[in-house]
Amino acid sequence: MALPKLTTPTYELEIPSTDEKIKFRPFLVKEEKILMMAMESKSNADITQAVKDIVQECTFNKVKIDNMPMFDVEYIFLQIRSKSVGEVSKLKLLCPDDGKTYADVELDLNEVKVQVGDDHTNKIELGNDMGMIMKYPTIDSFSETGIRDINPGNMLEVISSCILQIYEKKGEKVYDTKDQTQKEVIDFIEQLNTSQFKKVQDFFTTMPKLKHEITVKNPKTKKESKITLTGLNDFFE
């Protein structure tokens, strides 16, 4: 006689970038095992692939994860994790007041939202009637360096993957980066002066991301400090 099948609950969420409503389910033991194995391997590529696979499976293959902005994937995974393991994440955070003591903190994952910086825009004016239209990094942008913000090791590659178009003469002439090689786009980026490159950095600094401010009390000094958690990694031990 065949064993009975268990019923898995389904939930609904809104994708931050589009407000589209999708259904999802908690991850199962088999999927949690994949994630744990990837984390134990300490391979960024394996962890990225595990996150992609879990999001894909738990949303019933209804999302196009390869084209989805990183912050959307992080938010969906956070929601899946909260319904799978628990809505409270236990963290050990370094207290800013002395820089050496760790405090135990409990975080309600339902309070974590995607936030966007003031004056954020995907259009970067370079001057002389030239500019760039940007798009947001996807999860594959960080597959080799991990689910983190831009760092010196992947900076030019990530930036080049996020330039959708380069235009001149106020848009009369437009270059689609999909028609260029990555080297050609990186060569263009390397021609930017400091002021122009600062505008590119501002795009990434202010773009939407998982963000939450939490109060930490140092168990030794009893002083309270505020810490801003940013990006998926910050919300789990």
- In tens, the pLDDT along 2-47 reads 888 888 899 999 999 999 999 999 988 888 888 888 888 877 778 8
The helix-helix angle for 70-84 and 44-58 (nearest 10°) equals 70
Domain annotation covers residue 156 = yes
Inside any domain, residue 109: no
Q: Is the residue at 116 inside a domain?
A: no
User: What's the pLDDT at 48?
Assistant: 83
**225 occurs within a structural domain:** no
| Residue 46 domain flag | yes
Residue spans of the chain under pLDDT 70: 142-153, 171, 236-237
Assess if residue 226 is contained within a domain: no
Range of the domain at 183: 123-207
Name beta bridge partners: 224. Answer: 217
Considering the domain boundaries, does residue 100 fall inside one? Answer: no
**Residue position matching structure tokens 């949690």:** 32
Q: For residue 42, what pLDDT is reported?
A: 74
Provide the number of structural domains found in the chain.
2
pLDDT for the residue numbered 105:
93
Region at 86 (left for phi over 0; alpha for psi -120 to 50; beta for the rest): left
Helix intervals (H) in the chain:
29-41, 44-58, 70-84, 155-161, 182-189, 194-206
- Helix (H/G/I), strand (E/B), else coil: 228: strand
Co-location of 68 and 127 in the same domain = no
Do the domain assignments include residue 198?
yes
Q: Are residues 13 and 63 in the same domain?
A: yes
- Answer with the one of 86, 115, 140 that is the final residue of a domain: 86
Q: What is the pLDDT of residue 180?
A: 95
Question: pTM for the complete prediction?
Answer: 0.86
Q: 17 and 62: one domain?
A: yes
